[in-house]
Amino acid sequence: MSGGAFALVGEKLFDGNEFREGPVSVVVRGGVIEEVGSTMPEGMPVVRLGQDSCLLPGLVDTHVHLAFDAGQDPVGSVREATDAELYASMRRAAFRAVQAGVTTVRDLGDRQYLSLDLRDELAEDLLAGPELLAAGPPITTPGGHCFFLGGETAADPAALVAAVRERHARGCAVVKIMASGGAMTAGSLPHESQFTREHLRVVVDEAHRLGLPVAAHAHGVRAIEDAVSAGVDSIEHATFLDGHGGAPQPGLLEALAASGVVVSATLGFDPAGMAEMVRNNSPEQAERLEAMKAAQAAAMRGLRQHGVRVTVGTDAGIAPHKPHDVLPHGLAELAGYGWPAAEALTAATRDAAKLCGAAGRKGEVVAGAEADLLVVRGNPVEDLGHLLDVRAVFRRGHRVR
């Protein structure tokens, strides 16, 4: 179908909030949902989605890196590629995401703002990929985590304000700052802070003044504490590393819950990609991976226990087990940490859209929302594995699969 008027008819619906049995009809006009009901519409084309079909909002991944190719050396690939080569790779990654039903992505780190060009292309060519909400190069210290993406910024207020203003002027949707180090950058330690609390507050104050949210990459306990105090909008990863493993602290978890800051948890791995990664890992790399997985599990249990708001940000692209269609696996992982399937689906639709500044426009199958829709076979509220059995995907009313 195209962006005209038509109706989708299926047997089940998860609208981003609740699940219900059908029959279900969704009327789409001009790329927007006009009506959701149970009666057969008259006088317009009807797309029958088939037996055992379930309609859902298109999924929203709150943390991807389209510039990383999910290969064995994604950093090397980014550093060696020409702009044209990197752009082509990003376009392929975007197409892979939308084919899995991921209709909106928040890109939290590209090279030299290439994602903004791709954002504009995807806004016109709806068949090519999801809606792209871009941060541009993440703000980082000289030589700091992901410095090679072009976001190196001196740790002083004037430079940080200028960095935020540049992203606003270029049209970025969010400001990303590396509050702590990260594992992908030689010489960078994930548990160590890169900016002080005062530096983070400068970035938050200027970004909020300009109407932009702030996403803080933060693995370390101190970096998480400082990011919460500074008033960031989301904390990426939140593994609570302290140099001796993961150690989520009840007081910090309570502060996170009270603040309303969203944790964009790094979840989801492709089983085949993980097997490849394990085969190619050195013993030291395997040990680090197991330690990170243990820290992630401890963090997620603590977040659930304290009622912290969570979305799923896959970090797609950073390794072979993180391809750009990995989000459905992330929902299954979230359920494994104690989230009921319906809550996991809401976290990756309605709540993720809200974090991305697209509440009411994305993440729900309701009148007035854009017709970004995923159709799967079976009941994903009973078994999230049904998200992998994709029957159709629509972007603003255009069928892309």
Give the pLDDT confidence score for residue 366 in this predicted structure.
98
* pLDDT, tens digit, 9 for 90 and up, residues 87-127: 999 999 999 999 999 999 999 999 999 999 999 999 999 99
pLDDT of residue 2: 60
Give bridge partners of residue 310 from the DSSP assignment: 263
pLDDT at 291 > cutoff 80: no
Q: Residue 172: inside a domain, yes or no?
A: yes
| Domain containing residue 19 | 6-57+364-399
**Short-list 131, 150, 146, CA closest to 179:** 146
Whether 93 and 22 map to the same domain: the answer is no
| 190 and 266 share one domain | yes
| Residue 378 covered by a domain | yes
Q: 74 pLDDT exceeds 70? A: yes
Number of residues that this document lists for the chain: 401
Closest-CA residue to 137 (of 104, 170, 159, 161): 170
Ramachandran region of residue 237, left (φ > 0), alpha (ψ -120 to 50) or beta?
Answer: left
pLDDT at 336 over 90: yes
- DSSP H stretches of helix in 70-196: 74-80, 83-99, 114-124, 157-170
Rounded CA-CA distance 267/292 in Å is 12
Residue 382 domain-assigned?
yes
44 shares a domain with 63? no
- Co-location of 386 and 323 in the same domain: no
345-361: average pLDDT = 98
The arithmetic mean of pLDDT across residues 352-356, rounded, is: 98
Same domain, yes or no: 31 and 126 = no
Residues 248 and 393 in one domain: no
DSSP 17: S
Residue 273 binned pLDDT confidence (cut-offs 50, 70, 90): confident
On average, the pLDDT of the chain sits at 95
pLDDT given for residue 132 in this prediction: 98
Angle at CA of residue 297, ends 310 and 110, nearest 5°? 60
pLDDT 10s digits, 24-72: 999 999 999 999 998 877 889 999 999 999 999 999 999 999 999 999 9
For residues 142 and 227, membership in a common domain is answered with: yes
Beta bridge pairs of residue 111: none
203 in the same domain as 67: yes
- Whether pLDDT at 21 is above 70: yes
With both helix axes pointing from N to C terminus, report the angle between 114-124 and 83-99 in degrees, rounded to the nearest 10. 50
Residue 27 falls inside a structural domain: yes
Q: Is residue 73 part of a domain?
A: yes
| Confidence band for 374, pLDDT divided at 50, 70 and 90 | very high
Query: Model confidence over 214-262: pLDDT tens digits?
Result: 999 999 999 999 999 999 999 999 999 998 877 788 999 999 999 999 9
pLDDT over 70, % of the chain = 99
35: left (phi over 0), alpha (psi -120 to 50) or beta: beta
> Can you give the CATH number for the domain in which 226 is found?
3.20.20.140
Evaluate if residue 169 carries a pLDDT over 90. Answer: yes
Residues 232 and 221 in one domain: yes
Is residue 1 included in any domain, yes or no?
no
- Out of 166-170, 248-252, 284-288, 311-315, which region has the weakest mean confidence (pLDDT)? 284-288
Total of domains in the chain: 2
- pTM, to two decimals: 0.96
DSSP string, 131-151: EEEE--SPBB-TT-TTGGGS-
